[in-house]
Structure 1
Amino acid sequence: MPTFLTIVFIFFLSFMTIHSESSKEPFGPLEIHNMYTPLSSFLSMTPTASNTTPYKKINYNINTAWTSNMQTNNTMTQNIEVDMEVISLNVAAEYGLTENSDIRFDFWAMHNFSGIMDGAVRDFHRTFGFPNGDRVNHPDFKYNYKFNDCGKDVLDYHTLESLYSLKSSYLQTKHTNFLPIFYKNDPLFPFKNNLYDCGNKVLDVPSGTGLGDSNIRYKRKLKSESNSLPAFSTIIALRIPIGESNFGYRSGTEIGWGIVLQKSFNPLNIYFNLSYIYPSKRSFFNSTSVKIQPYFDGSLSFEYLWKNELSFILQFIYLTSPFQTKLKELGANSTQVSFGITKKVDENLKFYGAFTEDLSYYTTPDFSFHFGIRYFLSPLIK
């Protein structure tokens, strides 16, 4: 993976040196965030530029994504399966409140299904030498999104004393259909290969289509760019719980605060976003060993402008996990990289396409394809 990314980055930089024409107005970073399904019910601070929407203008955004998720794990007390594809639709509107501030409203809809990309993802990984992970042991085109948790650590799996303790206590109860998969060949446990079911089904999300939660974001530009210093803005966002609860949404209001830096080195523009988010508690985790914690959401974007018509973007996204747990499929921090192109049709219309790949195995999708449209419109009422 690092070798492949190095080659892509060198190509990206070499392309930048070939063309020298610049644009006066940058297009901005990609409106992309981590689309891993267990994280989709949390507030995400989508990367943005420091500049605000012009006064009394409306900026409409339509963003779509096709995402493939595959992460599973069985431990002594927990079982998680995220095997699905998601098509998401985001419709947003930004309005210029003043010359230096705007407000944005986001609305989301999701379609969860078994997918059609399993074979293509495996071939892609094989071609570039990426690991296929859990895809090796799971059938194609199956849908699973569930999480079970016993609410406490049953034992320390790494000591022989704990193994004997397990055999003498838990396995003499009615729950005898238990064998940890990493001990399935241990002669001490010639039992059925199945995770212990403590009856605490935390999540079991069906396939189908539903509404996600909505966001409201306010952005204030505090300082314009100078020769030596970047432009500086602050943002504050609220997550409004209007989504469908059977898809894991509607968990409560969440708040996030962040900063945005933007610096131009024509024809290169750099954007840096960093936010701190305080999430709401999830009632379905109350009786589990999983806790909810504040988290950071950051991005670094490099945009190269060519002939005031095209924008080539390399973007990194880093997210600390809102879950406090030893289960890496929920608790690990994540890093992703996106490659995108934005096309300017006229002064008011732009569209983009992008591809996102994970740099960290856990808490990220295998890949995401993105397409979006941005349209500026002056309101009818002045």
Structure 2
Amino acid sequence: MAERVTKEERWARAALTRVIEPGDEHGGRWLRQLGAVELLRRLTSVPYDDSALTGASEQRIQGFRTRAARAEPDRDLAAVDACDGRFVVPGDSEWPSQLDDLGDGRPVGLWVRGRPDLRRWALRSVAVVGARACTPYGAHMAATLASGLSERGWVVVSGAAFGVDGAAHRGALAAGGATVAVLACGVDVAYPRGHAELIGRIAEQGLVVGELAPGAHPTPGRFILRNRVIAALTRGTVVVEAEYRSGSLVTARAAQKLGRFTMGVPGPATSGLSAGVHELLRGGAELVTDAAEVAELVGEIGDLAPSRRGPVLPRDLLDPVSARVLEALPARGRAATRNDIARDAGTSVDVTLARLYELHSIGFVERHGDGWQLTAAAVRRPNARRGGA
């Protein structure tokens, strides 16, 4: 598929990633109305024409102009090329069109490191996000979910942070699967520093993606805005451990707003790190416990999770009449005559006697003179609820 983006358009968008902050809908609206080349021209011209730059204060527009004057797109494009990356913009064959669901808040472009095609990977991707200060349970669940999804051919997307994010990436990598890290900084910046090796492995085996130009550093606000890209890029978002005020819940709510699948992994009711997930589940998110259940939700027809049930016991295989006869025998080792058993089972004496002999052959009942009683094996019922029938 031929690229539809001119060199001037790509150059202007690269410059604008230094000008328009992620998620800025004013800048996004100007970009949509004027195009990247014209918007950059207006922001850098002297004197400048602000007739189309409506909806923002003069002070804010001056901030745009200051950043535009300092932008060096040639340097940024050379920097991403030096780390074997590229700059992907709307109109490229690699541009994930689902990001357009963000409207005027969609990224100006995406800086990308890694060989795979971002658009193709995004078509079959799931976000796995959660608490940075996660518990061992949270880390285990994130890694297990990610490896299971990878084995089913799904791409695991997360934010490369400590805790759940890192566990998800490692789970996918360990399974030899595909994973994408969406950063809140330049794709050539290892943040957090403790994940420098992990981010390097993701760039080699998967993709590292960011809205900000090379060398840009993260801020608290950029982390929150980064989450909308994770939500829009993927088919669904799974939250593994999150407090009430957690950035991962921002991702989940953005996914809900965009009409994506939103899922949560439950934890202990007493855990503050699961409180946010439980609130998400109460609000309509889907409860999931493994990769099969995630794939059933976000996948195609036929991607069904296995049915869940306890072990099948011999008495579960009895036909309905034999089961009624067995239930009619008194418990606690007391014997009953065939007439009493037939009455309580609602069957004839002859049918009852035939079923008693069958039950005797499989070790459920035993005969004592004219009476029949349950064996010890029949009295012990592991699948029965304690304290009731």
TM-score, normalised via structure 2 length: 0.20
Q: Computing the radius of gyration over CA atoms, which structure comes out larger, 1 or 2?
A: 2
More strand by share: 1
Structure showing greater relative contact order (alpha-carbon pairs closer than 8 Å, 6 or more residues apart)? 1
More helix by share: 2
TM-score, normalised via structure 1 length: 0.20
